[in-house]
Amino acid sequence: MRDLYFDDIENKTYSDKMILEDLRALIKAGQREGPLLDYKSDLSHKDNWPSTVAAFANTFGGLIVFGVEGKNDQPRRLTGFDPKGVEVKTKLSSMVIDRIHPRPDFSVRVVTYDQDPKREVALLRVAEGRNPPYMHSKESEHRVYIRMGAQKAEADYLQLSSLLEKRKRTESQAVIPAADLFGSDSQLHIPRPVGSNQVSPNVLKFVLSPRNMGVGVRLNFETERQFKQCIVDVSGKHPSDGYTIRSRNVTIFPVDADAYLEQRFALAARGGIGFVSFPGITTDTGLFFVPMDFCHFLLDFLSISSLFYERTIQFFGPCVLHVALTIAQGVNLFGGFPTSSQRIAGTKLFHPPLETIRAGAATEIEVAMSPISGDRLQDYLEAVMIDVVRPSGSVLVPEFRTAMQALVDDAVKRLASARAA
Question: pLDDT tens across 117-136, in order?
Answer: 999 999 999 988 878 999 99
Q: How far apart are CA 368 and CA 27, in angstroms?
A: 29
Q: Is the pTM of this model over 0.85?
A: no
- Give the pLDDT score at 342: 44
- Give the pLDDT score at 108: 93
Q: How far apart are CA 11 and CA 121, in angstroms?
A: 16
- Give the pLDDT score at 231: 95
- For 256, other C-beta atoms within 10 Å of its C-beta total 15
| Amino acid occupying residue 405 | Q
DSSP tag of 313: I
- Give the pLDDT score at 412: 92
Q: Which residue ranges in the chain fall short of pLDDT 70? A: 1, 45-47, 169-177, 183-185, 193-196, 213-214, 256-261, 336-347, 359
Q: How far apart are CA 180 and CA 46, in angstroms?
A: 49
Locate CATH 3.30.950.30 in the chain: 16-155
CATH topology of domain 16-155: 3.30.950
Which residues 6+ apart lie within 8 Å of 75 measured at CB?
A: 26, 27, 30, 31, 32, 33, 39, 68, 69
Strand ranges (DSSP E) for 118-164?
120-126, 135-138, 141-148, 151-154
| Amino acid occupying residue 271 | G
DSSP tag of 81: B
Alpha-carbon torsion angle 10, 16, 21, 25, nearest 10: 30
Residue 144's H or E segment, with its range, is strand 141-148
- Give the pLDDT score at 261: 65
Beta bridge partners of 394: none
The dihedrals phi and psi of 218, each to the nearest 5 degrees, come to -85, 120
Strand pairing report for 37-40 and 318-326: unpaired
- Give the pLDDT score at 170: 66
Taking CA atoms, 264 is separated from 189, 192, 247, 297, 321, in Å, by 8, 13, 15, 11, 17
